[in-house]
A and B are shown apart, each in its own frame.
Chain A
Amino acid sequence: MQKIMVGIKRVVDFNVRIRVKADGSGVMLDGLKMSVNPFDEIALEEALRIKERGSNIEVVAVSIGVADTQQQLRTALAMGADRAILVQTDAAIEPLTAAKVFLALAKQENPDLILLGKQAIDDDANQTGQMLAALWERPQATFASKIEFSTGKASVTSEVDAGLKTIEVDLPAVMTVDLRLNEPRYVKLPDIMKAKKKPLDVTSLDALSVGATGWLKTLKTEPPPQRQKGIMVKDAAELVEVLKKKGLI
């Protein structure tokens, strides 16, 4: 293993509750705290742990987005990535386009492994890794909760609806990571200073010959229907009585 590529998406911070614009044209994003997608942080942490176990492995963090996405890539560099590439665009990028961009980067970089979060917490699409693996004609291991390597291949345990599933894939491969794979490290101040000197290249969709195709039109954005606050009961007996009256038990 010589090179690992990690996808980093800039998203509204996990702890921020978003609101829908009154005119239904989208979600209010102005002034909200932006962070690295939490699943991507786990993907990067895993790449760093593989690097620390091995020798001479380069970790390249890549992202697609507005100029300010450099902030999230600097965070990735501070965590320990060796260098970063931003494919800068103001266009809204759908998963298939993101997969095509990562494919173009994969052809330039020839990584042995591409690690991505299983989904981004903004559009919750859960598509990019699988699409990239298809376009790259390589294996995919999704929702990884444990990854082990041997020569030229990896054994990956995934969190699936029925429990856990283990598959073996040849490298290079695409893996998408789940919550319980690891706990990402905290960034220390000296690392933030060091990260400022690490290389961060900026390129464009044009340079990679990928068009920002919009496949889906979003017609309307609405808040979800709200549940009403119900009644409070004083004890277990009253709870059972209420549920029996409703015909639920």
Chain B
Amino acid sequence: MHKILIIGEHDGKTLNPATAKCVTCAAGIPEAEITVAVFGADTSTVATQAAALSGVKAVLRVDRAENLHPLAAIFAPQLAALAADYTHVFGPSTSFGKDLMPRTAALLGVAQVSDLMAVEGAYRFRRPIYAGNAIVTVEADPSRKLIATVRVASFQAAPAGGNATVASKSLDVSLPSHTRYIGAKSGSTDRPDLQTAARVISGGRALGSAENFKLLFSLADKLGAAVGASRAAVDAGYAPNEMQVGQTGKIISPEIYIAIGISGAIQHLTGIKDARTIVAINKDGEAPIFEVADVGLVGDLFQIVPELERLIG
């Protein structure tokens, strides 16, 4: 049997869907017994959400005042202590997991496998390198604990319907005081979350200004879509960093991805190649985005986007 511990990501109120995707990844391991740990100041709500995920056997609550904000320096020693009873420890390949998991691995003295995209065995996985231009199959030593991050775009979220036990766990771990949380700033939005949305509309440098991005927001609201941006658009200041899609931004797998005024640099394509359908609108018919698009339209986005909005009505 393989005992798999997943660190749950949440904001105190809602369990991030990345956690449900980690559960699906973990369920692919032969004879998996899955536990989700949630760290926080009060994890009662998110623990209930984790317990409802199909495939989860147990949920461990690690409530502690210091756990109010996710700081890797604070979480890692606790996760490393908790890991003692498990063969595998998984976290999502989100900014939370990328920060936390390698620190945990090093405290345990073991390597980490980053960005699992497919499970081929309990210790054998596929992962992307070179911005997704090559896929390697790697095997870890079964005699050691396996630490990994899960490329969330590669897995569907585990459905509801689970009924896991929930228990509180107190860990006797001393925590450092050298790292302190100051604050966070997020562009609050009523639109769907970019990372998990079924529909995404993204804009590139051709939008020309932050003001013009409103065209996309308006269309997105008609479609119930999230809005993303290319690195070029973020660098130009047209969109905030959390909207960036690509190798160094978010890697997403929506049902439909509509790229508007995006030429399709390889680093951008890395972030969208798991999309079910890619639609490209660009005035340059030679743009590389058309090589991967399922449906392409060459033309002026400033005419096409308002027309689309009108036609969708």
A: which residues have CB within 8 A of B? 12, 17-18, 20, 27, 94-96, 99, 118-119, 121-135, 137-140, 142-143, 145, 155, 158-170, 173, 178-180, 215-224, 227, 229-237, 239-240, 242-243, 246, 248-249
Tell me whether A219 and B95 are in contact (CB under 8 A): no
Complex-state Cα separation, A33 to B219, whole angstroms? 43
Comparing B32-40, B45-53, B97-105, B156-164, the segment that makes contact with chain A is B97-105
Interfacial residues, chain B to chain A (CB-CB below 8 A): 11, 71-73, 76, 94-96, 98-107, 110-115, 124, 128-141, 144, 176, 178-187, 195, 199, 223, 231, 234-235, 240-242, 247-248, 250, 255-256, 266, 273, 277-279, 281, 290-299, 304, 307-308, 311-312
Q: How far is the CA of A240 from the CA of B279 in the complex (A)?
A: 11
Residues of B within 8 A of A161 (CB): 94-96, 195, 242, 250
In the complex, the answer to whether B241 meets A219 with C-beta atoms within 8 Å is no
Of B187, B273, B299, which contacts A224 at CB under 8 A?
B273
Contacts of A220 in B (CB 8 A): 136-137
Query: Which among A160, A222, A227, A232 is the interface contact of B96 at CB below 8 angstroms?
Result: A160
Q: Which residues of B contact A231 (CB under 8 A)?
A: 294-296
Query: Is the pair B248, A216 in contact by a Cβ cutoff of 8 Å?
Result: no
Main SS class of interface, A: mixed
Contacts of B138 in A (CB 8 A): 216-219
Instruction: Select one of A138, A217, A239 contacting B297, CB under 8 A.
Output: A239
- With contacts A124-B115, A168-B180 known, is A131 near B130, CB below 8 A? no
Cross-chain contact B311 with A18 (CB below 8 angstroms): no
Q: Are A168 and B182 in contact (CB under 8 A)?
A: yes
Q: Is the CB of A221 within 8 A of B134?
A: yes
Please tell me which one of the listed residues A131, A145, A173, A242 contacts residue B295 in the complex, with CB atoms under 8 A apart: A242
11 additional A-B pairs beyond A130-B72, A139-B176, A249-B223, beta carbons within 8 Å, are A96-B111, A140-B103, A165-B185, A169-B179, A169-B180, A170-B178, A178-B248, A179-B248, A222-B134, A222-B136, A223-B135
Nearest-Cβ distance from residue B292 to partner chain A, whole angstroms: 4
Assembled-state Cα–Cα distance A158/B69 (Å): 14
Contact B130 A236 (CB under 8 A): no
In the complex, A173 Cα to B140 Cα: how many Å?
30
A77 to chain B, nearest CB (A): 27
Can you list 25 A-B pairs, Cβ within 8 angstroms, ordered by A?
A: A20-B134, A130-B102, A130-B103, A131-B103, A133-B73, A134-B102, A134-B107, A155-B182, A160-B242, A166-B185, A215-B111, A217-B138, A222-B137, A227-B278, A227-B291, A229-B291, A232-B295, A233-B296, A235-B307, A239-B279, A239-B295, A239-B297, A240-B308, A248-B256, A248-B277
Q: Which of B111, B248, B295 contacts A95 (CB 8 A)?
A: B111
Q: How far apart are the CA atoms of A248 and B255 in the complex, in Å? A: 8
Report the 3 A-B pairs with minimum CB-CB distance, sorted nearest first.
A215-B111, A163-B186, A230-B294
